Amino acid sequence: MSMKTVCLAALRPVPEVVEAVERAVREHLLGLADVRQIGLGKVVRHVPTDYIANDRSYGGVVAEADDIGVVLDLHVAHAGAGAQVVASPAWRNFLLAISPVARPLFSLDSEANIPVPLRARSVHGGFRRWLLLTRKAATPQAFREAWFVRHANLVRHLPRLDGYVQNLVSARYDAQGKPVPYEELPIDGIAEVCYADEAAMVESYASDARLPLRDDGAELNARVSTVLIDARVIQ
């Protein structure tokens, strides 16, 4: 399934913004043709590095990622459906409705790979360690192969894992929704590492299974932006 991910900056307290965005989604976006599911993620906090102990220098993907407060995922039937949604009057009305509390930062089109199927709370959202990835590999194909096979096999060994989703980015858009080249928004993937709660994530990342995964991540990614998200499915 294809997905359009819209990253929003919160202009008011995040819980208030999430409530307003959900109202606007229900009013303007539910029921649109080819939209199979809509997910809404509330950012709990940003993690300065992809480690439990923040003892590494910061290396985020793009500066705009530091401002993400809410994440909106539109799961659509095919890649072209996402473009149809954002070109529709319903989308314009949605943006107008949320404009007092949130502003778009950028958006990404992607295709999902799910090496660890979702279970328990993760089926309907739940707690997620959500990462934007900039590849170290020279080509998108080399990144895809290393991420989907080698890295995914290491993630499977994490304890207390409730799911792992890899979203391979295929197109990038600026705050106005205009397509931009890779050099302007160098994001190759969105990783979603799912747990029952933050305590389960901390225990998992403190395990020995995390060590080879950490080292492989350093080989796989040139930069990473990490946030903790409380997600839920609206439709």
Q: With pLDDT > 90 as the criterion, what percentage of the chain qualifies?
A: 90
Instruction: Specify the pLDDT at position 78.
Output: 87
Per-residue confidence band for 121, with pLDDT thresholds at 50, 70 and 90:
very high
Q: Which amino acid is at 2?
A: S
Model pLDDT for residues 200-229, shown as the tens digit of each residue: 999 999 999 999 999 999 999 999 999 999
Residue range 28-40: average pLDDT? 94
Model pLDDT for residues 62-80, shown as the tens digit of each residue: 999 999 999 999 999 887 8
Q: Residue 33: is its pLDDT beyond 60?
A: yes
Model pLDDT for residues 42-55, shown as the tens digit of each residue: 999 999 765 544 44
Where do runs of H (alpha helix) occur along 131-175?
A: 140-145, 152-155
Per-residue confidence band for 58, with pLDDT thresholds at 50, 70 and 90:
low
Q: For residue 175, which of 185, 189, 190 has the smallest C-alpha distance?
A: 185
Average pLDDT of the chain is 94
Residue range 182-202: average pLDDT? 97
